[in-house]
Structure 1
């Protein structure tokens, strides 16, 4: 009778835990970017110098394929532009309370390198084409093996790689439009521990969830030149609907639970659409100002559902066939302001400031997403030794407000965990543009 009770109890606990784990696997991990939530801003070093203010109203180089596809029409020569951003993140953990033993080292986000590359070519005075490769979403979180909150997340990785062919057309002397489809590959991996030591001779269970998919979206933009000094732009990045397919694998589960197997898993997930609009104004031959705002529809992450197949009858009875989780993310408006100064014909200096609110409220914040309202400052420069080559570099520093995380032991296999997180990061981006 005792073992039967343990089996039934453990299955109920496993089902509840897998609901939480599956949801977190595909929509959460510690942030590493100058944007909040799951979004990345690092698609351009030239825009990074002004904290991405003016991105949709300033066609600085071929990276406008992401910032505003309509801006391609401003590039009079063919261009090849590419580079990468390197991000170093610090997440300090304090005031920890947990029913589990372990460590809380923090700094769980490894140094990341985010590449980007673009090609553009004018066909004639009214038509231009281009191709971009960039990463719009992507996060990594890797806690130490003895992390005290490992039952709510020990390893997470989500990444989307996007290829975007683009076309731009000049309607008249003041208005241009542009856009193109996006081909997006989503890859995700999650690992969590289960506190099964009392059922498994002190050995914990490791759960690994993997999934991936390729899906199509689109980006479109409008660019308006009010006069020679002022321009306005708006860019729409569409939602992308994924059907991630992969597996849920349990390693080291107690033998009598009949859970030492691999489940086929399927998850329907939409990444959010966003609208970026900004104004660029040239005060004189040296000074330029930028002001922008971005709306992101994070409310698409309000609920999550996953379907597991190849589940044993006992697993089906425990509710492992179809699981769900409430996330309750909400839409956000981020803002940015920046300026540039033309020091001389070769050197352009930049600076910017941005504010990006968190898409998750205090009551819904998880250990995998311990983000809060975010501020960032950036400095940048562009060096053009001649008209054919420009080298851009930018440095950014961001810091979050203190974030409280409170996670309870709803499954019976996840010891409760609460703590305060203080996140900050430094980012360095470089870019080379060649015109021919």
Structure 2
């Protein structure tokens, strides 16, 4: 979600278990209970930083390889990357972890250079998969598909567009996977998503200015389908589709009014409501293993951000009742975002039975044109280099990832009505550190 005009604007190593079903120690009731434990452990979800505001940090192993798990799909994070791949996982397997996301950057406006305030966002992830028979698997995932965190110092030149914007989401994603043949599996899942939005900015410049805050949340429902094809240990292919999710965010708009606004009866605290349709996406991944210890993968993800064409907010009460400019009960801003591509490349090398080495690269397009860009997502097309390490002992695995994101300078023209000045986004970079702990029962 983004700003409105007058009140607002984130592995277990390759499974060696192959072949027929081998009953595990957990029954279906314990499987569900384990999933609930994972949910309770992730209540404190935080936002992150992605193109638009889509997230891809679904597990440390995948992140260290640039997210290239659509074709591999061979650890519990496959629930998020490609749930059809969980048919490769024997018995009951789990994964929990988190990422630390630390964005930095500067915005140059006429006569000023302002740095984005330093923050660390912490998106979590947790998965459990269960083999029910030779043909049927269940998977549960709790992770973030969308998130954003951008904060500026009080009094900066762009404060009438944004001071602080935070988007949080949490998806609960149960999946059913079915093995059609020894090499082909399919999956279908439901997604129940909680979405939370908060923004602080200045409004009422003609009245001397005052701080406005908007906060609200929503629940939405979507789904996903997936295919995994692995004709041999040398090749694997994955296809995924994640649906769009409509959110109707309801909350409150509050204002720290100055004497002029109070005398006129303007900008009283009120309820607020707005709709946003979060985009659907398609993913394709091809994995190739040139020899036993090395696997390579390339992915392409297409996200339909054109669902985000405008943002309209309806307030419970008019913000400026009786004003010659109108009652201002509905605020609308054009977004007109574009559908975009994300290309991912990754490699994993089995140095020893204990140690796995990983590398990756990502090119991620942004969806907003210069004429609609603002200070909620002050970025450009981004490049990401990733690396990581995996350690495995019997049924336990521990994975680490590090990613460095950067983008080139971007210049946008002033839009006074939106609080946007002539600006250059520069020195944009983000450090991402992740870890995941996995266990096979």
The alignment's TM-score, normalised by the length of structure 1, stands at 0.87
2:411 matched to 1:401?
no
Measured against aligned partners, the alpha-carbon deviations of 1:140-178 in whole angstroms (never above 9, x if no partner) come to: 112111222111100111111111111111011121011
- 2:424 maps to 419
Measured against aligned partners, the alpha-carbon deviations of 1:223-251 in whole angstroms (never above 9, x if no partner) come to: 01133310100111110011111122221
Q: Is the 8 A contact 1:337 1:352 kept in 2?
A: yes
In structure 2, distance between residues paired with 1:415 and 1:337 = 36
Q: Is the 8 A contact 1:335 1:354 kept in 2?
A: yes
The alignment's TM-score, normalised by the length of structure 2, stands at 0.86
Measured against aligned partners, the alpha-carbon deviations of 1:311-330 in whole angstroms (never above 9, x if no partner) come to: 37426972422221111210
The alpha-carbon distance between structure 1 residues 404 and 277, as it changes in their structure 2 partners (threshold 3 A), is same
- Show the 5 A alignment for 1:136-285: 136-194=145-203, 196=205, 199-200=207-208, 204-253=209-258, 254=260, 255-285=262-292
Q: Is the 8 A contact 1:176 1:222 kept in 2?
A: yes
Measured against aligned partners, the alpha-carbon deviations of 1:69-102 in whole angstroms (never above 9, x if no partner) come to: 11111101211211010111111233x217xxxx
- 1:410 maps to 417
- 2:96 maps to 82
- Show the 5 A alignment for 1:108-119: 108-119=117-128
Q: Is the 8 A contact 1:404 1:418 kept in 2?
A: yes
Q: Is the 8 A contact 1:51 1:336 kept in 2?
A: yes
1:109 to partner: Cα distance: 4.8
2:56 matched to 1:51?
no
Q: What is the CA RMSD across the aligned residues, in angstroms?
A: 2.1
In structure 1, distance between residues paired with 2:344 and 2:332 = 36
The alpha-carbon distance between structure 1 residues 194 and 415, as it changes in their structure 2 partners (threshold 3 A), is farther
1:195 to partner: Cα distance: 5.7
Q: 2:348 aligns with which of 336, 340, 343?
A: 340
Q: 2:304 aligns with which of 267, 278, 297?
A: 297
The alpha-carbon distance between structure 1 residues 215 and 195, as it changes in their structure 2 partners (threshold 3 A), is closer
In structure 2, distance between residues paired with 1:376 and 1:283 = 25
Q: Is the 8 A contact 1:32 1:425 kept in 2?
A: no
The alpha-carbon distance between structure 1 residues 350 and 317, as it changes in their structure 2 partners (threshold 3 A), is same
In structure 1, distance between residues paired with 2:188 and 2:118 = 34
1:368 to partner: Cα distance: 1.7
Structure 1 residue ranges without an equivalent (≥5): 1-17, 26-30
Q: Is the 8 A contact 1:405 1:421 kept in 2?
A: no
1:370 to partner: Cα distance: 1.3
Measured against aligned partners, the alpha-carbon deviations of 1:175-206 in whole angstroms (never above 9, x if no partner) come to: 1011211111110011111364x745xxx301
In structure 2, distance between residues paired with 1:58 and 1:299 = 29
Equivalent pairs counted in the alignment come to 400
Q: Is the 8 A contact 1:404 1:419 kept in 2?
A: yes
Q: Is the 8 A contact 1:209 1:246 kept in 2?
A: yes
Q: Is the 8 A contact 1:104 1:148 kept in 2?
A: no
- Where 1:345 maps in the other structure, the secondary structure is coil
In structure 2, distance between residues paired with 1:278 and 1:109 = 35
- 1:66 maps to 80
In structure 1, distance between residues paired with 2:116 and 2:275 = 31
